[in-house]
């Protein structure tokens, strides 16, 4: 019985391929671009989840168990679910700090690193804001980290990874230049977001954050907080409210009170067919935001 | 850095200008003037060359110094973390209730202050300890080592821990969706599956999740008083466990988990009636609705467990005779919890708990509950319980009861795989 079960999963056509598991579709897409035919890549999440409350599904365990490489965002973005899975995945080579673990946050200039780590400040990210993928320039760092990580584990394919990396960076650079142009109208736009995940994006394109719907990270708004947020939005003339995988109840309420437009953006690729790659995902967010501003 | 750099620049460039201004006036006559100009120009050129070289060198030094500064900063940062980095992650859970039972009255029940510690031991193992203080005193509930890099998909666990029996038996009571342990779990398993022993788990290489556990323990059950943990005994009086656990995603948003466990004790010896085998069997089925895009504010969990206990139990007759007879007690619980926004959840627990001595007598429990979590680490819960009790052993286990529970987490707290 054991032998049969064991034989079933191995020995198939993909046995030679490098098995890569990424935590989010953004990383899976970039890994595919760099590994091409040498890799089989799968993302554990679909891009629609709120990254801090991804269900710990046992179906992820066999995938992690068989992975040669695990690619993660790092900065504790996955801390509420990935460690619990790795606990039972029996795969020491992909644990944090091991060669098979690629932490894409290496080399990223981390924003909002807390000076005080206290839960009175909400569910703070002790290592800083982990949503760095929203700044496309960080996409280049992600790609470099993935190429380096793949080469570290499979040095025999280093030349291929480097060649694919160069091609991908070229493509990404072109897109970045295009976005820089189209994002012109975003400069100086004041916005409110549900959770504080838009800092990197705002910094890149010159938007100014007026506040968050959450009182503190992970803490739902109180009536008082909403009243003062409305006042601030009116004083500062906030134009747009950004939310993601949260309920649209408060964004709609605030929009009704302030006249700001609301827009649902994605914090990760993969949520829809139009965002099935990292580049398309940034494209789609920019488009949605620009069209929301026009309406407003 | 900037000050010393510009000072150095002045040191290099000023002499050049000085040469230029000072040498010119002391020449006279056309040829000698031209020569003097040439030589002073040459001098200036040399001085400028030197100045440029000096600037270049300083630039290099500057880069080297700033990267040195970065390195020092990094090492300061990492050494600042080093002192606490070797300490385990520490968390405390405080769990209290205000409760009223129609049969026995009310109390503020300090249920637990649970200190949790966890850390890697070395590249091959991690460890954790959960030490609980409550009204009953202080107790090491769990303190165990778990391997992290055994070959062949094996994982070993040793020490004191909650044995891999069923689902809810591995939860600490503050982790339940409701206030109290189901009576069926209390009576048949003995509450949490606390055990001193060793366990080996195997993850099958199937495309779906399938995990097996084998274990050997002194005994299983926090409230199991069949024998004393501190006494040595023959190997036939230990408890041996086997469990198989699997899981299926029905769709992205719906999933089902199934487990079956058996704990076998070859010989349980009770006063007056002698030894017998004990078989404790469990079946657990959990359905979850977890809409991926809405996991912060929507979910349904439907948890069910059946337990069967089979062993000889003593029956005392009116004339004082004590007779041992094999009793098969069958019980279980079913609960559903519906989280309807980020802060609120509600649900219902049905409990069906036999007496293991006289399985014909049952207690049935009905408990609606409502939970409010102002944050992930702070939770208030209101529960009403009606117990229809035919067992008549414990006064506190009958009638109507109300509970207001307040549970908080200080410091580090992560949900492990078993309490997902």
B260/B249 Cα distance (integer angstroms): 18
Count how many pairs of residues, chain A against chain B, have C-beta atoms within 8 Å.
115
B413/B420 Cα distance (integer angstroms): 13
Q: Residue B293 above 60 pLDDT?
A: yes
Q: B215 to chain A, minimum CA–CA distance in Å? A: 16
Which regions of B226-377 does DSSP assign to beta strands (E)?
Answer: 239-249, 254-270, 274-289, 299-316, 322-339, 344-354, 362-375
User: From A92, which residue of chain B is nearest by alpha-carbon distance?
Assistant: B149
Q: B255 to chain A, minimum CA–CA distance in Å? A: 9
Nearest to A23 by CA among A56, A45, A40, A54: A45
More confident residue, B68 or B420: B420
Tell me if B206 and A55 make a contact (CB, 8 A cut-off).
no
- A52 contacts in chain B (CB < 8 Å): 296
Nearest CB partner across the interface for B417, out of A84, A119, A123: A84
- A5 contacts in chain B (CB < 8 Å): 204-206, 210
What is chain B's Cα-based Rg?
A: 36
- Report in angstroms the alpha-carbon separations of B288 from A67, A182, B338: 26, 43, 10
Nearest to B140 by CA among B117, B163, B171: B117
Contact B410, B116 (CB under 8 A): no
Tell me if B296 and A245 make a contact (CB, 8 A cut-off).
yes
**pLDDT for res B45:** 83
Q: A143 to chain B, minimum CA–CA distance in Å? A: 24
- Place B58 in a pLDDT band, splitting at 50, 70 and 90: confident
Whether residue A208 lies within 8 A of chain B, CB to CB, comes out as: no
User: From B155, which residue of chain A is nearest by alpha-carbon distance?
Assistant: A90
Range of lowest pLDDT (B109-113, B248-252, B267-271, B407-411): B267-271
Q: B292 to chain A, minimum CA–CA distance in Å? A: 5
> Token pair for residue B244?
């198989």
**pLDDT for res A294:** 82
Q: B86 to chain A, minimum CA–CA distance in Å? A: 16
Tell me if B206 and A8 make a contact (CB, 8 A cut-off).
yes
Whether residue A58 lies within 8 A of chain B, CB to CB, comes out as: yes
Tell me if B203 and A90 make a contact (CB, 8 A cut-off).
yes
Q: How far is CA A42 from the centre of its chain?
A: 15
Tell me if A62 and B288 make a contact (CB, 8 A cut-off).
no
**pLDDT for res A182:** 93
Nearest CB partner across the interface for A5, out of B148, B206, B257: B206
**pLDDT for res A10:** 39
**pLDDT for res B297:** 86
- B73 contacts in chain A (CB < 8 Å): none
Whether residue A2 lies within 8 A of chain B, CB to CB, comes out as: yes
- Place B194 in a pLDDT band, splitting at 50, 70 and 90: very high
Q: Residue B80 above 70 pLDDT?
A: no
Nearest CB partner across the interface for A9, out of B149, B205, B374: B205
pLDDT (mean) for A167-195: 95
> Token pair for residue A200?
């990197």
Nearest CB partner across the interface for A62, out of B150, B206, B245: B206
Q: Residue A62 above 60 pLDDT?
A: yes
Tell me if A46 and B375 make a contact (CB, 8 A cut-off).
no
Q: Residue A35 above 80 pLDDT?
A: yes
B157/B150 Cα distance (integer angstroms): 11
Q: How far is CA B14 from the centre of its chain?
A: 68
A35/A164 Cα distance (integer angstroms): 7
Whether residue A89 lies within 8 A of chain B, CB to CB, comes out as: yes
Instruction: Say which residues have a Cβ less than 8 Å from residue A31's Cβ, sequence separation at least 6.
Output: A20, A22, A39, A41, A69, A71, A146, A150
A36/A21 Cα distance (integer angstroms): 14
pLDDT (mean) for A214-235: 91
**pLDDT for res B315:** 85
Whether residue A80 lies within 8 A of chain B, CB to CB, comes out as: yes
- Place A296 in a pLDDT band, splitting at 50, 70 and 90: low
pLDDT (mean) for A260-274: 92
Q: What is the DSSP string of A228-282?
A: HHHHHHHHHT--EEEE-SS-SHHHHHHHHHH--EEEE--SSTTSSGGGSSHHHHH
**pLDDT for res B419:** 84
Nearest CB partner across the interface for A54, out of B247, B294, B295: B295
**pLDDT for res A224:** 94
Whether residue A57 lies within 8 A of chain B, CB to CB, comes out as: yes
Nearest to B227 by CA among B270, B272, B164: B270
Tell me if A88 and B203 make a contact (CB, 8 A cut-off).
yes
Q: Phi, psi at residue B327, to the nearest 5°?
A: -120, 130
Q: For chain B, give the percent of residues with pLDDT over 90.
A: 65
Q: How far is CA B50 from the centre of its chain?
A: 65
Q: Residue B11 above 90 pLDDT?
A: no
Q: B236 to chain A, minimum CA–CA distance in Å? A: 28
Q: Where does residue A9 fall: left (phi above 0), alpha (psi -120 to 50 degrees), or beta otherwise?
A: alpha
Instruction: Tell me what ipTM this predicted complex has.
Output: 0.86
Burial of B60 per CB tally in 10 Å (0-12, 13-18, 19+) = exposed
The angle at the Cα of A13, spanning A9 to A14, to the nearest 5 degrees, equals 75
- A55 contacts in chain B (CB < 8 Å): 288, 290, 292, 295, 420
Tell me if B296 and A50 make a contact (CB, 8 A cut-off).
yes
Range of lowest pLDDT (A205-209, A219-223, B269-273): B269-273
State the best of A58, A113, A194 to mutate against chain B, taking most chain B CBs within 10 Å. Answer: A58
Tell me if A56 and B148 make a contact (CB, 8 A cut-off).
no
- Report in angstroms the alpha-carbon separations of B295 from A52, A59, A133, A258: 9, 17, 21, 28
Contact B166, B193 (CB under 8 A): yes
pLDDT (mean) for B220-241: 91
Tell me if A10 and B204 make a contact (CB, 8 A cut-off).
no
- Place B69 in a pLDDT band, splitting at 50, 70 and 90: low
Using an 8 Å CB-CB cutoff, list residues of chain B that contact chain A. Answer: 123, 146, 148-150, 153-155, 201, 203-211, 245, 247-249, 252, 255, 257, 288, 290, 292-297, 341-343, 374-377, 414-417, 420
Q: Phi, psi at residue B269, to the nearest 5°?
A: -110, 125
Q: Is the four-CA dihedral B15, B21, B26, B30 of positive or negative sign?
A: positive
B389/B386 Cα distance (integer angstroms): 9
Instruction: Say which residues have a Cβ less than 8 Å from residue A113's Cβ, sequence separation at least 6.
Output: A127, A128
Nearest CB partner across the interface for A62, out of B209, B245, B417: B209
**CB-CB neighbours of B28 under 10 Å:** 8
Contact A36, A164 (CB under 8 A): yes
B112/B95 Cα distance (integer angstroms): 5
Q: A296 to chain B, minimum CA–CA distance in Å? A: 26
- B161 contacts in chain A (CB < 8 Å): none
Would you call A95 helix, strand, or coil by DSSP? coil
Q: If you ran DSSP here, which 8-state letter would residue A219 be given?
A: B
Nearest CB partner across the interface for B153, out of A65, A83, A123: A65
Nearest CB partner across the interface for A246, out of B154, B208, B296: B296
Whether residue A122 lies within 8 A of chain B, CB to CB, comes out as: yes
Instruction: Say which residues have a Cβ less than 8 Å from residue B190's Cβ, sequence separation at least 6.
Output: B220, B221, B222, B223, B224
Whether residue A88 lies within 8 A of chain B, CB to CB, comes out as: yes
B279/B299 Cα distance (integer angstroms): 35
Q: B212 to chain A, minimum CA–CA distance in Å? A: 11
A184/B82 Cα distance (integer angstroms): 45
- Place B25 in a pLDDT band, splitting at 50, 70 and 90: very low
Tell me if A8 and B123 make a contact (CB, 8 A cut-off).
no
pLDDT in tens, B349-367: 999 999 999 999 999 999 9
More confident residue, A196 or A101: A101
pLDDT in tens, B365-399: 999 999 999 988 999 999 999 999 998 888 889 99
Nearest CB partner across the interface for B290, out of A55, A123, A247: A55
State the best of A19, A21, A62, A98 to mutate against chain B, taking most chain B CBs within 10 Å. Answer: A62
């Amino acid at each position: 019985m054991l032998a049969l079960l064991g034989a079933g999963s191995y020995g198939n056509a993909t046995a030679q391929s490098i098995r890569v598991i990424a935590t989010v579709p953004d990383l899976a897409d970039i890994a595919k671009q760099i590994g091409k035919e040498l890799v089989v890549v799968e993302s554990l999440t679909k891009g629609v989840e709120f990254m801090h409350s991804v269900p710990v599904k046992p179906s992820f365990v066999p995938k992690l168990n068989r992975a040669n490489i695990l690619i993660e965002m790092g900065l504790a973005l996955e801390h509420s679910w990935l460690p619990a899975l790795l606990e039972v995945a029996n795969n020491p080579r992909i644990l944090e700090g091991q060669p098979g673990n690629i932490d894409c946050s290496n080399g990223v200039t981390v924003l909002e690193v807390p000076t005080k780590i206290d839960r009175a400040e909400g569910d703070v990210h002790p290592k800083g804001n982990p949503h760095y993928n929203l700044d496309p320039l960080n996409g280049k760092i992600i790609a470099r980290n993935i190429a380096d990580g793949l080469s570290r584990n499979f040095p025999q394919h280093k030349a291929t990874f480097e060649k694919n990396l160069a091609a991908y960076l070229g493509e990404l650079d072109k897109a970045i230049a295009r976005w820089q142009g189209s994002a012109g109208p975003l400069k100086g736009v004041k916005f409110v977001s549900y959770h504080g995940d838009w800092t990197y994006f705002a910094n890149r394109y010159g938007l100014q954050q007026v506040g968050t719907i959450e009182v503190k990270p992970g803490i739902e708004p109180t009536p008082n907080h909403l009243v003062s947020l409305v006042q601030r939005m009116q004083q500062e003339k906030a134009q747009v409210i950004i939310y993601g995988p949260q309920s649209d109840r408060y964004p709609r309420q605030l929009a009704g009170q302030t006249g700001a437009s609301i827009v649902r953006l994605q914090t990760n690729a993969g949520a829809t067919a139009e965002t099935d790659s990292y580049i398309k995902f940034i494209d789609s967010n920019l488009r949605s935001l620009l069209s929301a501003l026009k309406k407003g | 850095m900037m000050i010393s750099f510009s000072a150095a620049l002045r040191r290099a460039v000023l002499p050049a200008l000085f040469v230029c201004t000072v040498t010119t006036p002391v020449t006279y006559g056309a040829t000698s003037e031209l020569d003097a100009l040439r030589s002073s120009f040459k001098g200036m050129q040399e001085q400028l060359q030197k100045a440029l070289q000096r600037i270049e060198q300083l630039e290099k030094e500057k880069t080297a110094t700033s990267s040195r500064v970065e390195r020092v900063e990094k090492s300061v940062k990492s050494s600042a973390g080093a002192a606490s980095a070797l300490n385990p992650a520490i968390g405390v859970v405080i769990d209290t209730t205000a409760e009223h039972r129609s049969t026995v009255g009310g109390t503020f029940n300090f249920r637990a202050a649970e200190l949790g510690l966890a850390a890697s031991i070395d590249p091959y193992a991690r460890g954790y300890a959960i030490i609980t203080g409550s009204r009953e005193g202080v107790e090491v509930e769990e303190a165990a080592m778990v391997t992290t890099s055994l070959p062949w998909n094996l994982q070993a666990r040793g020490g004191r821990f909650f044995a891999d029996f069923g689902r809810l038996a591995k939860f600490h009571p503050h982790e339940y969706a409701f206030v109290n342990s189901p009576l069926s779990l209390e009576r048949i398993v003995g509450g949490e599956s606390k055990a001193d022993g060793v366990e080996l788990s195997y993850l099958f290489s199937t495309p779906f999740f399938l995990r097996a556990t084998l274990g050997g323990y002194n005994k299983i059950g926090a409230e199991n008083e069949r024998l004393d943990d501190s006494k040595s005994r023959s190997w036939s009086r230990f408890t041996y466990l086997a469990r198989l656990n699997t899981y299926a995603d029905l769709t992205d948003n719906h999933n089902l988990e199934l487990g079956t466990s058996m704990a076998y004790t070859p010989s349980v010896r009770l006063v007056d009636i002698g030894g017998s085998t004990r078989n404790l069997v469990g079946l657990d089925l959990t359905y979850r609705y977890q809409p991926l895009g809405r996991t912060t504010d929507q979910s349904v969990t439907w948890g069910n467990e059946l337990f069967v206990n089979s062993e000889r139990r003593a029956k005392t007759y009116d004339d004082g005779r004590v007779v041992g007879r094999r009793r098969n007690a069958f019980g279980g619980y079913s609960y559903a919890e519906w989280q309807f926004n980020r802060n609120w959840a509600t649900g219902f627990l049905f409990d069906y708990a036999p007496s293991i001595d006289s399985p014909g007598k049952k207690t049935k429990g009905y408990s609606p509950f409502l939970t409010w979590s102002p944050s992930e680490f702070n939770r208030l819960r209101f529960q009403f319980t009606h117990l229809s009790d035919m067992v008549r052993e414990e006064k506190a286990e009958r009638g109507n009861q109300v509970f207001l529970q307040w549970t908080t987490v200080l410091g580090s707290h992560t949900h492990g795989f078993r309490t997902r």
